[in-house]
A and B are shown apart, each in its own frame.
Chain A
Amino acid sequence: MSSMFEIRGLKSAIEGKEILKGFDLKIGAGEVHAIMGPNGTGKSTLASSIMGHPKYEVTEGEVLLEGENVLEMDVDERARAGLFLAMQYPSEITGVTNADFLRSAINARRGEGNEISLIKFVRLMEGKMKELEMNPEFMHRYLNEGFSGGEKKRNEILQMMMLEPKLVILDEIDSGLDIDALKIVAAGVNAMRSAERSFLIITHYQRLLNYIKPDYVHVMMQGRIVKSGGPELAERLEAEGYDWVKEELGIVDETVGQA
Chain B
Amino acid sequence: MSTPTTSFGREAASAIARSKNEPSWLVAWREQAGEWAATLELPKPEKTPIQRWTLNVQGVHRPGKTVAALAELPQAIASMLDAQGDGAVIVQHNSSVVYTRLPEDLKAKGVVLASLEEAARTHEELIRAHLMTAYARDEHKLAAMHGALWNGGVFLYVPRGVEIEAPVQAILFADDAEATFVPHILVIAEANSRVSFVENVSSALGDTDITLLHNGAVEVFAKAGAHVQYAAVHHMDSSAIDISYRRAVLDNDGRVEWLIGDMHEGNTLSDTKTILKGNGSTSDAKIISVGTGQQRMSVTTGAVHIGRSSESDMVTRAVMKDEATAIINGVTKIEKGATKANGQQTERVLMLSPKARGDANPILLIDEDDVKAGHAASVGQVNAEQVYYLMSRGISRAEAERLIIYGFLDPVVSEIPLEVVREQLQRILERKLG
When each residue 393-416 of chain B gets 1 if its CB lies under 8 Å from chain A and 0 otherwise, what string results? 111110110011011111100000
Q: Does B383 contact A (CB under 8 A)?
A: yes
Q: Give A159 to B409 CA distance when docked, in angstroms.
A: 25
Q: Give A78 to B388 CA distance when docked, in angstroms.
A: 12
Interface of B is mostly: helix
Q: Does B25 contact A (CB under 8 A)?
A: no
Inter-chain contact B388/A95, CB cutoff 8 Å: no
User: With a CB–CB cut-off of 8 A, which chain B residues contact A80?
Assistant: 394
Q: Which residues of chain B in 346-404 are interfacial with respect to chain A, using CB atoms and an 8 Å cutoff? A: 383-386, 388-397, 399-400, 403-404
Inter-chain contact B391/A96, CB cutoff 8 Å: no
User: With a CB–CB cut-off of 8 A, which chain B residues contact A29?
Assistant: none
Inter-chain contact A51/B394, CB cutoff 8 Å: no
Give the interface size bracket for A toward B. Answer: 20 to 34
Q: Give A108 to B396 CA distance when docked, in angstroms.
A: 8
* Contact A105-B407, Cβ < 8 Å, known A54-B384, A91-B385, A91-B386: no
When each residue 72-110 of chain A gets 1 if its CB lies under 8 Å from chain B and 0 otherwise, what string results? 001110111000110100110111100011101100110
Q: Does A200 contact B (CB under 8 A)?
A: no
In the complex, which residue of chain B has the Cβ closest to the Cβ of A142? Answer: B407
User: With a CB–CB cut-off of 8 A, which chain A residues contact B410?
Assistant: 94-96
Q: Give A53 to B387 CA distance when docked, in angstroms.
A: 10
Q: Give A90 to B383 CA distance when docked, in angstroms.
A: 13
* Contact A163-B397, Cβ < 8 Å, known A93-B386, A94-B411: no
User: With a CB–CB cut-off of 8 A, which chain A residues contact B394?
Assistant: 76, 79-80, 105, 108-109, 163
Q: Give A142 to B408 CA distance when docked, in angstroms.
A: 11
Q: Give A90 to B128 CA distance when docked, in angstroms.
A: 57
CB distance from B368 to the nearest CB of A (A): 31
Contact of B392 among A79, A94, A109 (CB under 8 A): A79
Q: Which of B385, B393, B395 has the most CB of A within 10 A?
A: B393
Inter-chain contact B395/A76, CB cutoff 8 Å: yes
Contact of A96 among B384, B392, B397, B404 (CB under 8 A): B404
* Contact A75-B388, Cβ < 8 Å, known A95-B409, A101-B393: yes
* Contact A100-B403, Cβ < 8 Å, known A94-B410, A94-B411: yes
When each residue 207-229 of chain A gets 1 if its CB lies under 8 Å from chain B and 0 otherwise, what string results? 00000000000000000000000
CB distance from B390 to the nearest CB of A (A): 7
CB distance from B426 to the nearest CB of A (A): 13
CB distance from B424 to the nearest CB of A (A): 19
Q: Give A100 to B406 CA distance when docked, in angstroms.
A: 12
User: With a CB–CB cut-off of 8 A, which chain B residues contact A108?
Assistant: 393-396, 399
Q: Give A74 to B399 CA distance when docked, in angstroms.
A: 14
Inter-chain contact A76/B407, CB cutoff 8 Å: no
CB distance from B433 to the nearest CB of A (A): 13
In the complex, which residue of chain A has the Cβ closest to the Cβ of B410? Answer: A95
Inter-chain contact B397/A79, CB cutoff 8 Å: no
Contact of B407 among A52, A54, A96, A109 (CB under 8 A): A96
Q: Give A211 to B11 CA distance when docked, in angstroms.
A: 87
Contact of B388 among A53, A100, A102, A159 (CB under 8 A): A53
User: With a CB–CB cut-off of 8 A, which chain A residues contact B383?
Assistant: 91
CB distance from B305 to the nearest CB of A (A): 27
Inter-chain contact B411/A95, CB cutoff 8 Å: yes
Inter-chain contact B392/A51, CB cutoff 8 Å: yes
CB distance from A21 to the nearest CB of B (A): 24
Q: Give A51 to B393 CA distance when docked, in angstroms.
A: 10
User: With a CB–CB cut-off of 8 A, which chain B residues contact A105?
Assistant: 390, 393-395
* Contact A74-B393, Cβ < 8 Å, known A94-B410, A95-B406, A142-B407: no
Contact of A104 among B386, B389, B403 (CB under 8 A): B403
Inter-chain contact A90/B389, CB cutoff 8 Å: yes
Q: Give A172 to B390 CA distance when docked, in angstroms.
A: 19
CB distance from A102 to the nearest CB of B (A): 8
Inter-chain contact B389/A91, CB cutoff 8 Å: yes
When each residue 295-321 of chain B gets 1 if its CB lies under 8 Å from chain A and 0 otherwise, what string results? 000000000000000000000000000
Inter-chain contact B407/A104, CB cutoff 8 Å: no
Inter-chain contact B392/A101, CB cutoff 8 Å: no
User: With a CB–CB cut-off of 8 A, which chain B residues contact A78?
Assistant: 392
In the complex, which residue of chain A has the Cβ closest to the Cβ of B409? Answer: A95
Inter-chain contact A74/B408, CB cutoff 8 Å: no
Contact of B397 among A76, A100, A159 (CB under 8 A): A76
In the complex, which residue of chain A has the Cβ closest to the Cβ of B412? Answer: A95
When each residue 4-45 of chain A gets 1 if its CB lies under 8 Å from chain B and 0 otherwise, what string results? 000000000000000000000000000000000000000000
Inter-chain contact B395/A104, CB cutoff 8 Å: yes
Inter-chain contact A75/B406, CB cutoff 8 Å: no
Q: Give A200 to B288 CA distance when docked, in angstroms.
A: 43
In the complex, which residue of chain B has the Cβ closest to the Cβ of A144? Answer: B389
CB distance from A257 to the nearest CB of B (A): 20
Inter-chain contact B404/A76, CB cutoff 8 Å: no
* Contact A93-B390, Cβ < 8 Å, known A100-B403, A104-B403: yes
Q: Give A94 to B404 CA distance when docked, in angstroms.
A: 8
Q: Give A102 to B399 CA distance when docked, in angstroms.
A: 13
CB distance from B398 to the nearest CB of A (A): 10
Q: Give A80 to B384 CA distance when docked, in angstroms.
A: 20
Q: Give A74 to B393 CA distance when docked, in angstroms.
A: 12
CB distance from B353 to the nearest CB of A (A): 20
In the complex, which residue of chain B has the Cβ closest to the Cβ of A100? Answer: B403
Q: Give A98 to B251 CA distance when docked, in angstroms.
A: 39
Q: Nearest 9 CB-CB pairs, A to B? A: A95-B407, A95-B410, A79-B394, A105-B393, A96-B407, A91-B389, A75-B391, A76-B391, A108-B394
A residues adjacent to B (C-beta < 8 A):
51-54, 74-76, 78-80, 84-85, 87, 90-91, 93-96, 100-102, 104-105, 108-109, 142, 159, 163
B residues adjacent to A (C-beta < 8 A):
383-386, 388-397, 399-400, 403-404, 406-411
Given contact pairs A52-B388, A105-B395, A108-B396, a sample of 19 additional A-B residue pairs in the complex whose CB atoms are under 8 Å apart: A51-B392, A53-B388, A75-B388, A76-B396, A79-B395, A80-B394, A87-B392, A91-B388, A93-B407, A94-B407, A94-B410, A95-B411, A96-B407, A96-B410, A102-B393, A104-B395, A104-B399, A105-B390, A105-B393
Sample of 11 A–B contacts (CB below 8 Å):
A75-B388, A76-B400, A79-B392, A84-B392, A91-B383, A93-B389, A95-B409, A100-B403, A101-B390, A104-B390, A159-B393
